[in-house]
Amino acid sequence: MKLNLKWTFFLTLMVTGLFSHGHAAAQQSSQQSPPNPTAFIEKVANDTFEQIKQLRKKGEIAPKDLENIIEQYLLPHVDHIYTGLLVLGSSANSSEKSDIQAYLDIFKLYLSSTYAASLNYYNDQQVLFEPLRDFQNKDKVSINAHVKEKGKPDVQMQFKLRLDKSGQWKAYDLVVEGISLVQSKRSEFAPLLRQKGLPGLTQTLKQKVES
């Protein structure tokens, strides 16, 4: 499996398990505490991959079916704005607001297209999550897990979630075997930013999405 597809496959494993509610840490004292995010990860991940397995039993999965899974189970639980800005790093400080918005719009589509490719690699892998005991009064948490696949070494992962302003747990980064997805994408995009600027990076991502 190529590195980029491997990364997006593990990111898909992450975001299929993200669904939660509550309010930002600053508001938690006066509002109901958010539930344990690990429990939601396990439930939604299991439900999502069960749907994929059922589709595979019927034969080859159509691209439209993958798009429906992404739309219903993935994108609503990924903070693509926060992630996109983290990937840009300091480059966002020197960019026009209109350029940043155009980049974030296409970055969301870019994530969607990579998810569609990565879902094809799901083959009944098992994801085991470690219990998260301390998450009260926090607006960011990290959840450790590992992927088990027959005949292959376990893959160690760490999921990074944050409570957004609307009070939802959302994914913003994934660390696989010590390597951050955000940092990986930042390194990948850096040469394009230096050579073409943010509009050039946006155009490149758009071409990838449309290809």
Q: Is 156 helix (H, G, I), strand (E, B) or coil?
A: strand
Ranges of residues in the chain with a pLDDT under 70 are 1-35, 41, 43-44, 116-122
Contact (Cβ atoms closer than 8 angstroms) between residue 18 and residue 41: yes
- Predicted pLDDT at 20: 36
- Predicted pLDDT at 1: 40
- Predicted pLDDT at 29: 39
- Predicted pLDDT at 102: 97
Name the token pair of 175. Answer: 């660390």
210, 169, 11, 192: which is closest to 76 by C-alpha? 169
Residue boundaries of the structural domains of the chain = 3-210
Would you mind telling me the total number of residues written for the chain in this entry?
A: 211
pTM: 0.77
Beta strands across the sheet bearing 140-149: 126-129, 140-149, 152-163, 169-176, 179-180
Helices (H) and strands (E) in the chain, counts: 6, 5
Q: Strands 179-180 and 169-176, how do they pair?
A: antiparallel
- Predicted pLDDT at 159: 83
CB atoms within 10 A of CB 10: 23
Angle at 181 between CA 97 and CA 68, to 5 degrees: 80
The dihedral built from the CA positions of residue 182, 19, 168 and 143, taken in this order, carries a sign that is negative
Question: Is the backbone of residue 177 left (phi > 0), alpha (psi -120 to 50) or beta?
Answer: left
Tell me the per-residue pLDDT of 25-51, one tens digit each, with 9 for 90 and over.
444 433 566 667 887 767 667 777 777
Q: Strands 152-163 and 126-129, how do they pair?
A: unpaired
In Å, how far are 31, 62, 124, 162 from 149, measured between CA atoms? 41, 25, 8, 28
* Percent helix, percent strand, percent coil in the chain, to nearest 5: 60, 20, 25
- The class (CATH top level) of 3-210 is alpha beta
